[in-house]
Structure 1
Amino acid sequence: MTTTHLDNLATAALQDVLIDVAELASQAKQAHWNVRGATFLSVHRWLDELAEALRGHADSLAERIAALGGWPDACSETLSERTTLESLPFGRLATGQALAAMDAGLERIAAVATSWLDNPAVGHDPVTADLLTGVCRDVQIQQWFARAQQ
């Protein structure tokens, strides 16, 4: 498969979103293990569902990068160096703190994906644009869930 300029932009877009999606999936699992509070059970369960949904998106993003001839990278070093997300605090997390952190991370993923969707070159790759649009749609639904629980 030959790589064109548009493929390079598409893989760059997908890689940027993959990094934050993979990072938030990890943070959601970390929060799942450490959340405490009056609404513990519902938040604990939702965090697990969120981590699973984000892992599914990470897989789709990575497979699209590979299909375009790129090399997806969600190694821990890459995530720590390139994520645009804030770090999750270590230790106990109050339910409201965990929800606010997930809300902020979801907001950031939508912003990164949208910024790439606003790039006309990415729009010329309808499969990548569709994938990024789907990620935006799903993270905004999850963001609604986070906000509804606060």
Structure 2
Amino acid sequence: MPEAFVSGLNDQTRHKMIDLLNARLVDTIALSMAVKQAHWNLKGPGYIGVHELLDEVAARLNDSTDLMAERAQILGGQAKGTLDVAASKTSMDPYPTDMEAVNDHVAALKERFLAVGEKVRKAIEEASDAGDADTEDLFTEVSRQIDKDAWFIGSNAPV
């Protein structure tokens, strides 16, 4: 295992945090791919606003995945975020590939954002319980962004 650059965490805590970071990493990758699936395929009233929003949301999710992947590296682990790993390890429900209506995509995305957000909030607690304030803070940042984007997506539902 590569040398960890973080002092003050024992090996057991580091390994637990690396596993936790990778678990949330694959969920965030899956969520990002769901956003792109919707972005590419949605149609109907309100299309352009939601389409443009989803590009911004995908970029923010990519920032979150980078934070988690880099933290896993800092702790002496590896980021495990390939498409194969994400597909096999994500806890997120599969995203439908046969939808077109903006409202259907908005509902499906909001549901998944809320579910992933809940898992990230649990990760905050786990990192706190483990005594890793930095990973706890990272998950708090990711949680805030996921919650905000869930609200943006839900608020942009056409009437």
Shorter-chain TM-score tier: over 0.9
SS in 2 for 1:18: helix
1:71-127 Cα offsets, whole Å, 9 max, x none, are 111111111111111222114421111111211121122111111222266551111
- Equivalents in 1 of 2:72, 2:127: separation in Å? 19
**112, 122, 145: which is aligned to 1:115?**
122
**C-alpha displacement of 1:8:** 1.1
- Counterpart of 1:84 in structure 2 is 91
Structure label with greater radius of gyration: 2
- Equivalents in 1 of 2:69, 2:126: separation in Å? 20
TM-score normalised according to structure 1 size: 0.92
Does residue 67 of structure 1 match 2:43?
no
TM-score normalised according to structure 2 size: 0.88
What number of residue pairs does the alignment pair up? 150
In structure 2, the gaps of 5 or more residues are: 5-9
SS in 1 for 2:59: helix
- Equivalents in 2 of 1:122, 1:14: separation in Å? 15
**C-alpha displacement of 1:148:** 0.9
Does residue 43 of structure 1 match 2:56?
no
Q: Give the 3 Å change call, closer, same or farther, for CA 92–116 of structure 1 in structure 2.
A: closer
- Counterpart of 2:100 in structure 1 is 93
SS in 1 for 2:57: helix
Q: Give the 3 Å change call, closer, same or farther, for CA 131–120 of structure 1 in structure 2.
A: closer
* Contact kept? 1:117, 1:123, Cα under 8 Å: no
- Counterpart of 1:28 in structure 2 is 35
SS in 2 for 1:146: helix
Does residue 130 of structure 1 match 2:134?
no
Structure 1's consecutive aligned runs of 4 or more residues displaced over 3 angstroms after TM superposition are: 120-123
Identity %: 26
* Contact kept? 1:123, 1:129, Cα under 8 Å: no
* Contact kept? 1:110, 1:139, Cα under 8 Å: yes
* Contact kept? 1:36, 1:92, Cα under 8 Å: no
- Equivalents in 2 of 1:121, 1:33: separation in Å? 38
Two-structure CA RMSD over aligned residues (Å) = 1.6
SS in 2 for 1:119: helix
